[in-house]
Amino acid sequence: MKDSKKTNQDSNDGKQKDLDADRSNAEGQFLTTDQGVRINDDTNSLKSGERGPSLLEDFILREKITHFDHERIPERIVHARGSAAHGYFELYKSMDSYTKAGFLNNTSIKTPVFVRFSTVAGSRGSTDLARDVRGFAVKFYTQEGIFDLVGNNMPVFFIQDAMKFPDLIHAVKAEPHNEIPQAASAHDTFWDFISLMPESMHMIMWVMSDRAIPRSLRMMEGFGVHTFRFINEKNESHFVKFHWKPKLGIHSVVWDEAQKISGKNSDFHKLDLWQAIEDGHFPEWELGVQLIPESDEHIFDFDLLDPTKLVPEEIVPVTIIGKMTLNRNPDNFFAETEQVAFHPGHIVPGIDFTNDPLLQGRLFSYTDTQLSRLGSPNFHEIHINRTIAPMHNNQRDGHMRQEIATGRVSYHPNSLGGGCPFQAKIDQGGFSSFNERVDAQKIRERSGSFSDHFSQAALFYNSQTPTEQEHIAAALSFELGKVETPAIRERMLGLLNQASAALAAKVAKSLGMTVPKIPEKPINHGVGADDAGAHEPVKAKQSIERSDALSILKNPNSSKSISTRQIAFLCAEGVSGASVEAMKAALEKEGAKAVIVAPHLGDIKTAEGSAIPADQTYKIAASVLFDGVFIPAGKGILELSKIREVKEFLNDSYSHCKIIAGEAEGAQVLGDINDIDEKDGGVLAGSSAGDKNLAASFIKALGNHRYWEREKSLS
Ligand code: HDD
């Protein structure tokens, strides 16, 4: 732990210095009250006699209990559960022809960042493996102020207008009468809302896909979702879409696995991120941008301002411009991860908004929520939220103000303070909004260009491999299968049918229903509450039919690296030490981690007479917490086929399409497990201890993440 911190020191310097002043290290120090008075007894309250009543004057007890009573602050209304890390961003090439933002111009600057990943629907203590969108919020501490890229791991959103956000969240969260279910969308209110909101269909495809159950936060893409603007020195605007591409590629788990992980280790993602950073396997993402000249605003078959649409990478390629590395875990979850305040309205000169009506609503919501959550307009003074740029203004006072502003002037203009602080001219770095022409009537209406709700839903579905399509159908069958109201299921089948008849038919079959011929006319968004003048949903002709970038399995950004993968070595007394050591060395060379699982903790005696320390027992370990399994050689290994937990372990590994390898006696054990087909391409056998060919083919197969072919024989 100490080492990983040392190596990070230089990269995070700016932010680090700022935080050091308030970092508390109790090593070798006296226990004191908050006022600095040394405490002599922290165990007994002040009483009138040994068995007498406690005294009100016990300021030590009262201070301690009062602080404890107020330890909790309201959790976030959405994205309550999060995990975060510090790191830095490096620019590969100057983007000065598009944006004047300093951190995107100067390749010698390392910009400190703090990133918080989150689930959306669940409470703070809910499971990491919920089927859900993941928040991907990045705070850039730039020299020109804070830039927050508050995105998700999916490039589109459920709704087009911020007006519907409270409804969406009320619908997806636990139902209000009985607070059930926690962190799950598989219930009536969510699907009731969705079935009446056809604009959500594209996003529904994403949340029903494997993107919603990532293997690791380190293996997810990130997206800014909205179209933003880059503004250059000449005040020219380009539309920009932001992308984060994980260096480890995109990987997910399967739904049955996700549910089991939730039971075995509901902190699975949190721990995975923490451990990777502690082990020095710093997660990395490349930052990509899709750039669209202002003049091309209307050339697409959708509206760039519509957050339920993406710009296919095949139409506007993603230009990679830099890399983000996360290299330091927070020191204190509450002070940093919980108190960090993101806001899409935190932008710097060179970046600007568009009129996306969802983004516009967000620009109000985030400061407002921080006031309620963090309790004061001074939330920017909490260390994790502080800018590293000089900060001077005439804002004053408020709860828990930290800054001691000097002088008598707190207004502008002033002469008594020499006019300070000055307004900055544009060429001095002063922020000025893009000079967009807006000349229109005041209306409550949705643009007709937002009315195509199904074409990109179809594009997403059609771009998936058959395996991925099966997963979407299975997810919908699960979710709608949990819906109790038949009319909601029926409306959903009607909507799905408009995106893909094949998908709707599959889901209908599992629900034991038929797809309605004429879908119920969904609520539409037009003028006024009575829907008069509503825009009928349309289907625009799409310029592409498939996009590989939308699929995880065909993704051009895929990675065969097995770095940080967790491989279970199923061992027993009498295991071949040579077999364990050779495979362990081969895997570790590729950055993977071998975890020795055995009948008991302590040392396991090898066939050679040496000892191998066990990391976990069969009672603790579960297949769902590992990426692959190896059963080494050795006579004693044959005992494994008799252990119930081992059989369960192997059956689960097999049904979740994991790669399983056995060497000599280890391969025999695989043969003893009825459910496992030894001819399956993801089940590998080696003939003798230390089989180099087996190690090579195991590593290659693990690089493909799963052996998805197996699913056909399982269904
Ligand atoms: Fe939001 C938190 C992302 C729409 C209102 N949102 C929040 C977080 C992320 C996003 C990543 C967690 C930040 C953190 O880690 O602290 N939100 C999005 C994306 C959206 C989106 C990508 C659509 C493109 N959000 C959205 C809308 C509204 C909000 C339309 C309201 C009009 N979001 C909030 C919030 C939260 C929030 C209530 C809760 C906690 C917070 O802001 O700080 O204000």
Question: End of a domain among 364, 385, 406?
Answer: 385
Pocket test for ligand 1, best of 73, 76, 273, 370 (most atoms within 8 A of CB): 76
Task: Please indicate, yes or no, if residue 366 is contained in any of the structural domains.
Answer: yes
Region 51-66 average pLDDT = 95
Residue 8 has pLDDT above 70, yes or no: no
What's the pLDDT band for 6 if we cut at 50, 70, 90? very low
pLDDT recorded at residue 23: 73
**Which of 8, 105, 152, 327 is labelled catalytic?**
152
Region 452-458 average pLDDT = 97
Query: Does one domain contain both 206 and 339?
Result: yes
- d(CA 194, ligand 1 centre) in Å: 19
Cα separation, 232 vs 99, whole angstroms? 4
Query: Does one domain contain both 509 and 365?
Result: no
Determine whether the shortest distance from the Cβ of 141 to ligand 1 is under 6 A: no
Place of tokens 């060919």: 693
616-617 vs 628-631, strand pairing mode = unpaired
User: Is 281 part of the annotated catalytic residue set?
Assistant: no
Region 351-378 average pLDDT = 97
Cα separation, 93 vs 322, whole angstroms? 7
Query: Does one domain contain both 646 and 517?
Result: no
Task: Please indicate, yes or no, if residue 286 is contained in any of the structural domains.
Answer: yes
pLDDT digit string (tens) for 488-535? 999 999 999 999 999 999 999 999 999 998 776 655 554 444 454 456
- What mean pLDDT is reported for the chain? 94
pLDDT recorded at residue 517: 83
Region 597-613 average pLDDT = 97
Which CATH number goes with the domain that contains 238? 2.40.180.10
Question: End of a domain among 385, 418, 436?
Answer: 385
Region 36-58 average pLDDT = 95
Region 629-645 average pLDDT = 96
Position in ligand 1 atom list of the atom nearest CA 82: 15
Query: Does one domain contain both 496 and 583?
Result: no
Task: Please indicate, yes or no, if residue 341 is contained in any of the structural domains.
Answer: yes
Q: Which residues make Cβ contacts (< 8 Å) with residue 167, sequence separation at least 6?
A: 193
Task: Please indicate, yes or no, if residue 14 is contained in any of the structural domains.
Answer: no
Task: Please indicate, yes or no, if residue 628 is contained in any of the structural domains.
Answer: yes
Task: Please indicate, yes or no, if residue 411 is contained in any of the structural domains.
Answer: no
Place of tokens 């919980």: 338
* Residue ID of nearest Cα to ligand 1 atom 23: 157
- d(CA 156, ligand 1 centre) in Å: 13
pLDDT recorded at residue 17: 52
If one counts the domains in the chain, the total is 3
Residue 172 has pLDDT above 70, yes or no: yes
DSSP classification of residue 76: P
pLDDT recorded at residue 540: 80
Position in ligand 1 atom list of the atom nearest CA 152: 22
Domain containing residue 596 = 566-714
Region 626-637 average pLDDT = 98
Residue 3 has pLDDT above 50, yes or no: no
Determine whether the shortest distance from the Cβ of 224 to ligand 1 is under 6 A: no
pLDDT recorded at residue 542: 83
Cα separation, 42 vs 64, whole angstroms? 10
Query: Does one domain contain both 473 and 621?
Result: no
pLDDT recorded at residue 254: 98
Cα separation, 145 vs 158, whole angstroms? 31
pLDDT digit string (tens) for 300-342? 999 999 999 999 999 999 999 999 999 999 999 999 999 999 9
Which CATH number goes with the domain that contains 700? 3.40.50.880
Query: Does one domain contain both 194 and 263?
Result: yes
pLDDT digit string (tens) for 687-696? 999 999 999 9
Region 102-123 average pLDDT = 98
Residue 356 has pLDDT above 90, yes or no: yes
Determine whether the shortest distance from the Cβ of 228 to ligand 1 is under 6 A: no
Which CATH number goes with the domain that contains 497? 1.20.1370.20
What's the pLDDT band for 2 if we cut at 50, 70, 90? very low
pLDDT recorded at residue 541: 79
Query: Does one domain contain both 606 and 680?
Result: yes
Query: Does one domain contain both 92 and 206?
Result: yes
* Residue ID of nearest Cα to ligand 1 atom 42: 366
Residue 629 has pLDDT above 80, yes or no: yes
Task: Please indicate, yes or no, if residue 409 is contained in any of the structural domains.
Answer: no
Determine whether the shortest distance from the Cβ of 157 to ligand 1 is under 6 A: yes
Task: Please indicate, yes or no, if residue 542 is contained in any of the structural domains.
Answer: yes
Pick the closest to residue 34 from 72, 74, 66 (CA basis): 66
pLDDT recorded at residue 18: 57
222-223 vs 228-231, strand pairing mode = unpaired
Return the structure tokens found at 473. 């159908």
Residue 282 has pLDDT above 60, yes or no: yes
Cα separation, 204 vs 191, whole angstroms? 10
Query: Does one domain contain both 170 and 269?
Result: yes
pLDDT recorded at residue 258: 98
User: Is 524 part of the annotated catalytic residue set?
Assistant: no
What's the pLDDT band for 46 if we cut at 50, 70, 90? very high
Cα separation, 182 vs 174, whole angstroms? 5
Question: End of a domain among 385, 405, 430?
Answer: 385
Query: Does one domain contain both 511 and 604?
Result: no
Cα separation, 533 vs 444, whole angstroms? 12
Which ranges constitute the DSSP H helices of 249-339? 255-264, 268-278
* Residue ID of nearest Cα to ligand 1 atom 44: 366
Query: Does one domain contain both 230 and 284?
Result: yes
pLDDT recorded at residue 543: 86
Query: Does one domain contain both 493 and 572?
Result: no
Pick the closest to residue 397 from 384, 385, 381 (CA basis): 381
